[in-house]
Amino acid sequence: MTMRAIGQDGFGGPEVLKVIEAERPVPGPAEVLVRVHAAGVNPTDSWHRGSGGLAGAVVPLGWDLSGVVEAVGPGVATLAPGDEVFGMPRHPLPAGTYAEYVTSPARHLVRKPGTLTHLQAAALPLAALTAWQALVDVAEVAPGQRVLVHAAAGGVGHLAVQIAKARGAHVIGTARTAKHEFLRGLGADELIDYTETDFEAVMEPVDVVIDTIGGAYGPRSLKILRPGGILVSLASPAEAYLAEEAAAVARRAAFMIVEADQAGLRQVAELVEAGLLRPEIDRVFPLERAAEAHELSDAGRTTGKIVLSLTA
C-alpha cells in the first residue's frame, strides 16, 4: 500500500519539496502506525531540507505529529488502534511526519488532550519539549526567578513564556512591539522591542536566558545574567564557546538539542489540560503546499507555529 508524503531529490530552498507516493510503513516491535492528521513545521525542518542537518543527508522531513493509532506492533501494551496521540518521534533521528502515515516508538507518543484539535496538538511537541527541557531539565527554573526569552513570539518562544510563567517565574521577552499585546496575554511580565532598544542596556539582571537566535545574542545575554545564572542556547552547536566565556565570569552556558521525551510530553499535556499552556497557530497549509509553509517559516516573522493539515 502507498501513501502521500513530502520528498526531495536534493538540498535547496522550499522549491525542492514535492508530493511523492511512498510505501506505507509497517510498525515493528514496540512501535505503532499513526494515521497523521496534522504535522508541525519547525526551523529544523528547513535546516534539514537545505543541508541535511547534522547528518548531512537527505532525510524524510517532519517530527511533530498528531493523529490516530492505526495499528500496533508486537509488544505494545500502552496504546491501541483508535487512540488519538501526539508527539515528536525519534528526534534527533529522522521521523518523516510530513506523510499520511508514520511509525513511531509507542513510548515517544502520549494521548492527545481532549481540549486540543489535531492541528493544535501538532503545533506543540518539538517546540514545547524544547522549551520544557531548556527551562526545567537544564535551567531548573524556580518560582520567583527572572527568565528572559528571546524571540518570545516565535514557535519555541511563545511556549517558553507560558511554561516559565507556569513555573512561577517573572518572564521577560524580546519581540517587536506589534506582538507585545499577544505576549502579555500569554503572561509575559516585561517586553522589549529589540528593533528599538538594546535589551542589555535597559534590563535588570536575570537568572535564566533562553536564546533561540544565536549569533551576538549569546555574548550580549551573558552581560545581564546574575552570578550563577544560566544561558541556554538552542541556536547552534557553534555556540559551545559561550560555556568558556560564561565560566570566566561565574555564569553558565549550555547548548541543547531537544530529545524525544515521553515524560516531558506528559507534563506538557498536563499544562494544556490545566489551562496553563496553549499553542498559537500562525498558518495552516495542506500537505501539498509544504513548500509555501517553508517559505513562511524561513522568513522568520511568524507568531506561533505553522502546521500542515493532512485531512483537508
Is residue 9's pLDDT more than 80?
A: yes
Band (pLDDT 50/70/90 cuts) for residue 236 is: low
Query: Considering the chain, what percentage of its residues have pLDDT values greater than 90?
Result: 91
Name the residue type at position 285.
F
- How far are the Cα atoms of 2, 18, 53, 61, 64 from residue 99, in angstroms, in the given order? 11, 12, 20, 9, 11
Name the residue type at position 47.
W
Owner of C-alpha cell 531537544: 258
DSSP 31: E
Band (pLDDT 50/70/90 cuts) for residue 31 is: very high
Band (pLDDT 50/70/90 cuts) for residue 272 is: very high
Domains in the chain with CATH codes: 2-124+279-309 (3.90.180.10), 127-255 (3.40.50.720)
Band (pLDDT 50/70/90 cuts) for residue 77 is: very high
Please give the Cα distance from 68 to 36 (Å, whole number).
7
Q: Which of 117, 115, 88, 103 is nearest to 259 (CA)?
A: 88
- How far are the Cα atoms of 27, 39, 109, 194 from residue 90, in angstroms, in the given order? 14, 15, 10, 35
| For range 34-61, the mean pLDDT | 94
**DSSP for 99-149?**
BSEEEEEGGGEEEPPTTS-HHHHHTSHHHHHHHHIIIIIIS---TT-EEEE
| For range 73-85, the mean pLDDT | 98
| For range 140-144, the mean pLDDT | 98
Give the pLDDT score at 238: 60
Give the pLDDT score at 241: 76
Give the pLDDT score at 54: 80
- Write the CB contacts of 223 (distance below 8 Å, at least 6 apart in sequence): 200
Give the pairing type, strands 225-233 and 206-211: parallel
Estimate the crossing angle of helix 43-51 against helix 290-299, to 10 degrees. Answer: 110
Is residue 158's pLDDT more than 70?
A: yes
Is residue 312's pLDDT more than 80?
A: no
Give the pLDDT score at 235: 81
Is residue 41's pLDDT more than 80?
A: yes
Give the pLDDT score at 245: 87
Instruction: Return the SS3 of 189.
Output: coil
Please give the Cα distance from 251 to 209 (Å, whole number).
11
Q: Is 148 left (phi over 0), alpha (psi -120 to 50) or beta?
A: beta
Backbone angles phi, psi at 174, to 5 degrees: -105, 130
Query: Considering the chain, what percentage of its residues have pLDDT values greater than 70?
Result: 98
Instruction: Return the SS3 of 229.
Output: strand
Output the average pLDDT for the chain. 95
Please give the Cα distance from 27 to 5 (Å, whole number).
17
User: Per residue in 239-258, pLDDT tens?
Assistant: 667 888 898 889 999 999 99
Backbone angles phi, psi at 78, to 5 degrees: -100, -15
What is the pTM assigned to this prediction? 0.96
- Write down how long the chain is: 312
Band (pLDDT 50/70/90 cuts) for residue 237 is: low
